[in-house]
Structure 1
Amino acid sequence: MSTMTSKGQVTIPKPIRDALHLTPGAAIEFSVNEQGEVVLHSAKIKKDKTSAPDRFDAVRGKADIKWRTDELMALLRGED
């Protein structure tokens, strides 16, 4: 059992999240069946093939420079 907040939010119980393999940020679809019951589905996100690919996806996680914080801060501050 969950209680709805004033903003219309509810907590999905852990056994249901586990059964649907839901993780934080997961898309969820709701529907009402013929018996008037609310049905929860893990939504499959469809990528729009007409939109341009994310320009950062190809390079995400590819940096080969291992910056130390103090070295990076010195560079950013223009210190020699």
Structure 2
Amino acid sequence: MATTLTSKGQVTIPKQIRDALNLAPGCSVDFSVNREGDVVIHKAGARPSHKPDRFEAARGKADVKWRTNELMALLHSESEG
């Protein structure tokens, strides 16, 4: 289902999509781009819960400041012995 982009960057959401999302004049919508590059539209506040990344809680928490050469030396010595 195609629609045309105006010079102001606006598009009309096709009626079939508005009906499926229960959108009425004045409703807020959210847009996102998924991993495949598809644009996804959600009724604002109705977006499905985002599955958290299993590494998110640990990201940026390491307190060990290894230098690359120190880490490589440690790893190399462990593999030899």
TM-score (norm 1): 0.54
Moved over 6 A (4+): none
Q: What SS does the aligned partner of 2:42 have?
A: strand
How many residues are paired up? 45
- Once the two structures are superposed, residues 8-52 of structure 1 have per-residue CA deviations (whole angstroms, 9 ceiling, x without a partner) of 00000000000000000100000000000000000029xxxxxxx
Paired with 1:37 and 1:44, the residues of 2 have a C-alpha distance of 20
Paired with 1:44 and 1:23, the residues of 2 have a C-alpha distance of 14
Paired with 1:9 and 1:24, the residues of 2 have a C-alpha distance of 15
Q: Map of 1:3-22 to 2, 5 A cutoff?
A: 3-22=4-23
| Higher Rg of the two aligned structures | 2
The one-letter amino acid of 1:25's match is G
**For structure 1, which runs of at least 5 residues remain unmatched after alignment?**
46-80
**Partner residue, 1:63:** none
**For structure 2, which runs of at least 5 residues remain unmatched after alignment?**
47-81
**Partner residue, 2:35:** 34
Alignment root-mean-square deviation, CA: 1.3
TM-score (norm 2): 0.54
